[in-house]
Amino acid sequence: MAVTMAQALNTALHDAMEADDRVVVYGEDVGMLGGVFRITDKLQERFGATRCFDTPLAESGIVGTAIGMAMYGYRPVVEMQFDGFTYPAFEQITSHLAKMRNRSRGTVTLPVVVRIPCGGGIGAVEHHSESPESYFTSTAGLRIVAPGVPGDAYALLRRAIESADPVVFLEPKRRYWAKEDLDLPIETAPIGRALVRRPGRTATLVTYGSMVRTCLEAAEAAQQEGWDLEVVDLRTLVPLDTDTVVDSVARTGRALVVHEAQVFAGFGAEVAARVGERAFYHLEAPVLRVGAYDIPYPPAKLEHYHLPDVDRVLDAVEQSLEY
């Protein structure tokens, strides 16, 4: 049946809690309300207020207590409610959550999942539409997962909860209501594996999260220009599946990295560098990047100018073909 990403995430949390009583879910308004986006809907009703509960508005405390709970054998899944609210917890995530396993020489693992609804496109106010992935991808010790379709949202969240390493799980909030025909539960490719969502020959679009759908729409529109675009969905930013990206670029000869975050020092720079290192002799044009502008996230009425869309992707493809 048609399943939204929100439903897939909710089912993944439900199934993980059903399978393992060490899994606890908490954050701001995730209990009785079921979360701002209803991702935790009815979990408290099903599992009780000791396993799904509300917290004070204190993100540093949310992650800090998760670290302690994980050290004592629990598997906390915490919600940051909105991307911009993650910053008060940044020190806990980067200084402690990411470092404890290395600091203890592997004797202490922290199986914590930090769920972050991220990105724009929903007409929200300041601090509700940001793309913080590059802050975390540059922090060793974290796994960074960024699903773009409902099936991956379910399967990757289940795998993230089972992981012995801490996972930052980036949920593209503008795609919460996107649907996919699924029969849950579902297994997809594991964490650390990219997938070719659409094969092509003209150029490779490398993307993740909310831009997967945008790139697939761009690939459909490109057919009117006679272009056959391949779309690679990274799915996981850390660890990064460089092999799948390089294999695709070797076939097409051109690469464009598309993400919602700003271009300057965005995650696309890492992808572009790896393609340059490993596929240099296959490239017929420089690796191009398509992303948001290098400004603070604008007011809601202006966000459609700020965010990458089909036209900007196709403009970049045309630029690549002109080399």
Residues with active-site annotation? 128
CA angle, 200 then 118 then 75, to 5°: 105
Nearest CA-CA partner of 210 in 247, 245, 173: 173
Cα distances from 39 to residues 20, 144, 274, in angstroms, run: 19, 19, 35
The answer to whether residues 41 and 34 touch, using CB atoms and an 8 Å cutoff, is yes
Q: How far apart are the first and last CA of the chain?
A: 45
Buried b (16+ CB within 10 A) or exposed e, 217-235: ebbeebeeeebebbbbbbb
C-alpha 306/C-alpha 255 separation (Å) is 22
Close Cβ partners of 201 (under 8 Å, ≥ 6 residues apart): 228, 230, 251, 252
Please state, as a whole number, how many other Cβ atoms lie within 10 Å of the Cβ of residue 140: 10
Cα distances from 22 to residues 75, 114, 124, 166, 267, in angstroms, run: 6, 16, 35, 15, 33
Query: Strand, helix or coil at 295?
Result: coil
C-alpha 249/C-alpha 202 separation (Å) is 10
